[in-house]
Amino acid sequence: MTNVEFSGSTLCTVLIRGRTLYAANVGDSRALLISEDQKVLQLTIDQLPDDPVEMRRIQKAGGRVQPILNQINGKFTGPNRMFLATEDIPGLVVSRTIGDYKAHQAGIISQPEIFEINVHPEDQTLVIGSEAVFQYLSNEDIAKIVEEFYEANSAEKAANSIVARAT
């Protein structure tokens, strides 16, 4: 049997019912709603260990929040990560995941945050993506890329272009 103690994922999903949009998020995947005038509404909030509420929960459960300690120069580098109290594992840059069972021992949770908004006629495009995209492209960059392919009605080409520009 495969050891899955450190296997996990983020999750972002959207449900539209009538004129109401529900977005649920676990981790740092993100949902955006882009209007016809290219205004971008970020529908979800990235759940990161630096958030004071998330950090308190992790610390209360016995986890640590800090950047990675560089073994060569002894300095902390990079973003804050979540670690077990006495071990430098798992080093997650998110405060919520599905899976990552070892991290759940130290405050990582899988409970999504759920957001609700009303959809308007000028709302035209929904984009859902992972942190790997948003690490390299801003919400506005993504809106510009999507606009290039909107008139051609080519979601697949827009998605491929976003991935290509994010790498």
Shared domain check, 90 and 73: yes
**How much is the average pLDDT of 135-163?**
92
pLDDT, one tens digit per residue, over 153-163 is 889 999 999 99
Q: Is residue 161 part of a domain?
A: yes
pLDDT at 59 over 60: yes
State the Cα–Cα distance between residues 66 and 80, nearest whole angstrom: 5
Q: Is residue 95 part of a domain?
A: yes
pLDDT at 167 over 60: yes
State the Cα–Cα distance between residues 69 and 30, nearest whole angstrom: 28
pLDDT, one tens digit per residue, over 83-120 is 999 998 999 999 999 988 888 888 999 999 999 999 99
Q: At what angle do helices 139-150 and 155-166 cross, to 10 degrees?
A: 140
Select from 132, 128, 83 the least CA-distant residue to 105: 83
CATH number at residue 41: 3.60.40.10
- For the question of whether the overall pTM of this predicted structure is more than 0.75, the answer is yes
Question: Which residue in the block uniquely carries the two structure tokens 């520009």?
Answer: 165
The number of distinct structural domains making up the chain is: 2
Shared domain check, 157 and 133: yes
The residue range of the domain holding 121 is 8-46+112-166
Q: Is residue 1 part of a domain?
A: no
Helix ranges (H only) for 26-153 are 52-60, 101-104, 131-134, 139-150
